[in-house]
Amino acid sequence: MLQLASTNRDGEMSTAHERSVKTAVIALAGSPNVGKSTVFNLLTGLSQHVGNWSGKTVEQKTGTLRRHDRTVEIVDLPGTYSLTANSAEEQVARDYIIREQPDAVVAVLGAASLERNLYLVAELLELSSPIIVVLNMMDVAKGEGIQVEPDVLGAALGVPVISMVAARGQGVAELLEAVDRVVDGDFPYSPKRPAFAPELERLLDVIEELMGRDAPKLYPSRWVALKLLEGDKEITRLVRESLSIERWQEMEALLRKHEDAVIAIASGRYEWIERLIRAALIRPRSGVISLTERLDRAATHRFFGPSILVGLLGIIFWLVYQLAGPLVQLLDLGVGALADLIRTSLVGAPLWLTGLLADGILGGVGTVLSLVPILVVFFAAMAFLEDVGYMARAAFVADRFMHRIGLHGKSFLPLFLGFGCNVPAVLGARISESERARVLTILLAPLVPCSGRIAVLVFFTGALFGRGAALAALGLVVFNLLVVGLSGIVFSRLLFRGGSPAFIMELPLYHWPNWRTILLVTWQRLVAFVVRAGTLILVVSVVVWIVGALPTGRIETSYLATAGRFLAPLGSLMNLDWRVIVALLTSFVAKENTIATLGVVNPYAGTTLAAALPQMLTPAAAVSFLVVQMLFVPCAATVASIWQETGSWRWTVFSVAYHLVLAFAMGIAVYQGARLLGLGM
Amino acid sequence: MASPQMEDYLAAIGRLEERGERVTTSALAREHGVSSPSVTEALRRLAERGLIAYEPRGVVSLTAAGRSLTSSVVRRHRLWERFLHDVLGLRWDKVHDEACRLEHATSPVVERRLAEVLNKSDTCPHGFAIPGASAGGGDLPVLPLSALGLGRSARVVSVEEDGGLLRQLEKMGIKPSVVVRREDAPDQDGKVGLVVGGKRRSLEGNAAARIKVLVLSPEETAGEAESTVPLSDLVADEVGVVKDLGTGRTFVSRCLALGFTPGVLVRMVQNFGHGPVIVLVRDTRVALGRGQAQKIHVVKKGGACASAG
């Protein structure tokens, strides 16, 4: 669905000249954690389209802005530290600038770590689009005792430099003015590009000459030469394809001889940056302990760090129960009332129609709605922690144990999101830099007990175990997390050999949250979820209702029941009858459907499901059923997300099969184990 | 006039003597890549001409006439190697075989002109002296690299002409006049640990034995090669200068983008001895896994108060 929403930029090859005078295209570039999305939100407000870059699992955000008589289209490029195609983000960012040639590229920099941030500017200056530099988070820099002089930097760079505090809306007018002047050609744009040591410059000339006219089209040839020396895989492939075999061999020998040039290039850029910094930046006298340093003493401490992380996660769960819990019940009541209303108002209509409307469609809507409050709390909490800069610390703290399961700290966050819903957890796996870590995170995410499964768990343990309910529920959640850990160890050893991924990430400075950004991020993620998962849940809900109603209109004699009876021999190994198996099958729509289905097929007429359960299941069977339920194939929306995010049927089928085998194997093992020990019969 | 074959034998004898090895039939057979009987036959003919003399225990030595002819052959050979390498740009593992063919067909005029073109060269590309090229102020106290003490620095003088060895060394940046330092740590699995141009390398023991080096005095060492430690060895608030980023293109590239370049100052912010570390580099806090922090090598800086920016 999201693929449709994204604009296919490869298709329209218009250049700056062909565009109408009335529109301009501006790209926002910048490293992560510099407040780029705040700047983007400030410029575009709610006129945003969120989608995917074509063929990539990288989010694409575009928006528009009305300015005098002109429409400015703003494209938010993914956050990157450099423009070497090490990751999909970096490739997307630079391909966009090179192929689409936006009228201007606004480079958003964090003023507090200007030196490192200027590296991206050094790279951007090698490309042909004009640059406008935004020094964002000037307040944070000031807090760190760092003074930046934008005018000096502007003069030294030869490009407009605007200082901003996007979180407080400062500097927008100046930025827009600069955009106008650059787009109209009013600004005497004479950028100064980093020069390298003479021998490196000569080497670049040699490479450019060797490529000659066969250099890949569109790309500036000096830039291509630089990227070849930097070992950029994508550019290397392009050049290999465009040169004759002999010349490529010559090129390859030359590149091999100068393998170390990648370091010389980076050093050259930083030398150039150091010169700029010396002119435009005053550092605090040493010995000043910054706010970030003080906070980090606790947040990344070897004992306090994990405690703080666990504490924060606890608060999020508490908020989910306090805020989302009552709302979910209210929504349930509302949906139930609506279903009753449909039934009573459609008294004359055929039974299948009321059933389809009240159970199939409204049931699906209800499921989606009941997820919304939970996810709002999760998304908002995560957006808050991300905005203030804590998320990187959470990853740092989590790295110690994530490392053991072959992942690094960053994958902890999407897995945590899995407690809310597995769909955003699978999508969140994008945060990983390597393909290996991404797929591994996607495979593990559905094993995290989502709110739907926890709801089933709480209901069943409550009905079956009386006082021991809380303990039983907790035990099963812990069991699931152990399975996550063990699966991680097994997968990383067997499927993804080749060492754990490199853990190297920036810890941004802490700063005050920007509520606007948090709200907007929460809203966007929620909309994306409803669009992606909601429609699918609705469709699957209707389909399952149909197979549960055909051919007789009664679930006990439906196709669904037939399937349940077919699987009954498997269930009998756990002392589960076909009704329970059917309930399990309907959890493919959404996990909480298990309860609803059992309620419908409840053989003890006249009793509530909670009262009937102890008669339907022996304690041992109940535990093995819950084990199966917790590990069973993820819901349809999650499976669809796995397919979309991995882009591979193989991984999707593998994931489903793994869950199936694991769930039944564990369930049978638990029941048979209990039987052998003579427990809970 | 000696035949090309005889010249080749003389050159081989010359090389063995130069390396201080005993010139025996079997050593010659190995050096020249032929069978022992053919060596015996060739030696007999060289002795007939009065170019070599037999000594006890199967050792042969050059006579005065033989020595003068040998140094002429070796001179032509090494001049050609220099020319092929410096002027024609052949790789250093290819020049030996080419020079073996050219040396026999070199007239005195060409030899003189070669020497003029290569005016300053007094060694071949592998570091061996070209006879008659320089005054040669006595023998230098060279020793095999494998015998260099731990933590000592030395300048490479010469490298044996073996194609495989030369190709391996080229990749490591080991060639004559380069300064290498033996690592402080003891060697592992028979490999010699070295620091070459700020990078850690390891070399098979028998390969190291084929490299001759000249030990440097402490004054000469100063500033040449400082002792590097893994970044993970720094304790909190210690400052280091980055020397080497280790291997792996993607990792190096990510390091560079985050500001780790050779020569940059880094300050350790947090290090518990296990698990990831936090460092400050170019005003940015960067978290690194322990494995990554072990790959990056730094030179410790005294005076921890220095700003890491």
Chain B neighbors of A87, CB-CB under 8 A: none
> Does the pLDDT of residue A18 top 50, yes or no?
no
Distance between CA atoms of residues A219 and A235, nearest Å: 10
Strand partners, B129: B123
pLDDT band at A384 (very low <50, low <70, confident <90, very high): very high
Q: What is the pLDDT of residue B186?
A: 66
Asked whether residue B152 falls in the same domain as residue B208, the answer is yes
Q: Are residues B217 and B239 in the same domain?
A: no
A570-589 per-position pLDDT tens digit: 888 888 888 888 888 888 87
SS (H, E, C) A425-494: HHHHHHHCCCHHHHHHHHHHHHHCCCHHHHHHHHHHHHHHHHHHHHHHHHHHHHHHHHHHHHHHHHHHHH
Average pLDDT over residues B103-108: 86
Q: What is the value of pTM for the model shown?
A: 0.71
Instruction: Please tell me whether residues B193 and B214 are part of one structural domain.
Output: yes
Q: Cα(A573)–Cα(A565) distance, rounded to whole angstroms?
A: 14
Q: Report d(CA B197, CA B263) in Å as an integer.
A: 13
End position of a domain, from candidates B205, B221, B237? B221
**Residue type present at position A665:** A
Count of the separate structural domains present in chain B: 3
Co-location of B161 and B212 in the same domain: yes
Is pLDDT of A369 > 60? yes
B233 shares its domain with B215:
no
Residues of A in contact with B253 (CB under 8 A): 82, 84, 86, 230-231, 262
pLDDT of the residue at B134: 58
B92, B244, B252, B256, best to mutate vs chain A, most A CBs in 10 Å: B256
Gap between the Cα atoms of A356 and A600, Å rounded:
15
Asked, for residue B123, whether it belongs to a domain, the answer is no
Which of B248, B285, B291 minimises the CB distance to A507? B285
Q: Which domains are present in chain A?
A: 2-184 (3.40.50.300), 198-282 (1.10.287.1770), 304-498+514-522 (no CATH), 541-676 (no CATH)
The β-bridge relationship of strands A104-110 and A23-30 is parallel
The enclosing domain of B58 has a CATH number of 1.10.10.10
Which residues in chain B are closer than 8 Å to A302, comparing Cβ atoms? 272, 275
The confidence band for A8, taking pLDDT boundaries of 50, 70 and 90, is very low
* Across A18-42, average pLDDT: 81
Least CB-CB distance to A82: which of B257, B272, B309?
Answer: B257
In a domain, B297, yes or no: yes
> Is B264 a member of any domain?
yes
Mutate which of A140, A142, A297, A396 to test chain B, going by most B C-beta atoms within 10 A? A396
In a domain, B115, yes or no: no
| A283 touches B at CB < 8 Å | yes
B125 in a structural domain? no
pLDDT at A231 over 50: yes
Which A-chain residues 180-239 have CB contacts (< 8 A) with chain B?
230-231
Preferred mutation among A124, A254, A504 to probe B, highest tally of B CBs within 10 A: A504
Q: Are residues B213 and B239 in the same domain?
A: no
- Answer whether residue B244 is part of any domain: yes
Question: Which positions in chain B have a beta carbon within 8 angstroms of at least one beta carbon in chain A?
Answer: 245, 248-259, 261-264, 269-270, 272, 275-276, 278, 281-289, 291-292, 305-307, 309
The pLDDT score that the predictor gives to residue A3 is: 38
Q: Is residue B35 part of a domain?
A: yes
Q: Does A116 contact B at CB distance below 8 Å?
A: yes
Residue A15's pLDDT is: 45
Least confident segment among A449-458, B88-97, B117-126: B117-126
Find the range with the poorest average confidence among A79-83, A175-179, A220-224, B29-33: B29-33
Per-range mean pLDDT, top range of A84-98, A376-390, A519-533: A376-390
Looking at the structure, tell me whether residues B240 and B199 fall in a common domain.
Answer: no
C-alpha torsion sign, points B3, B7, B8, B13: positive
Same domain flag for B152 and B190: yes
Shared domain for B152 and B214, answered yes or no, is: yes
Residue B304 has pLDDT above 50, yes or no: no
Partners of residue A73 on adjacent β-strands: A25, A64
Q: CB distance from A304 to chain B under 8 Å?
A: no
A162-217 pLDDT, tens digit each: 999 988 888 889 999 998 888 888 777 778 888 888 888 889 999 988 888 777 77
On the question of pLDDT at A2 being above 70, the answer is no
According to DSSP, residue A282 is labeled E
CATH at residue B258: 2.30.30.90
Contact assessment for residue A403 and residue B289, using Cβ atoms and an 8 Å cutoff: yes
Give residues 238 to 267 of A whose Cβ lies within 8 Å of B.
262-263, 266-267
Residue A551: asked if its preceding bond is cis (omega within 30°), the reply is yes
Q: Average pLDDT, stretch B60-67?
A: 86
User: Which of B166, B199, B221 is where one domain is finished?
Assistant: B221
Residues B239 and B291 in one domain: yes
pLDDT band at B279 (very low <50, low <70, confident <90, very high): very high
Predicted confidence at residue B147, as pLDDT, reads 82
**Is B265 part of any domain?**
yes
Cβ neighbours of B245 in A, within 8 Å = 263
At A243, list the tokens: 């040169």
Among A117-131, A373-387, B29-43, B270-284, the range scoring the smallest mean pLDDT is B29-43
Q: Which of B25, B42, B62 marks a domain boundary?
A: B62
For residues B159 and B125, give the distance between their C-alpha atoms in angstroms, rounded to a whole number: 9
pLDDT at B88: 83
Mean pLDDT of all residues belonging to chain B: 82
Determine contact: A32 vs chain B, CB below 8 A. Answer: no
Q: Which domain holds residue B25?
A: 4-62
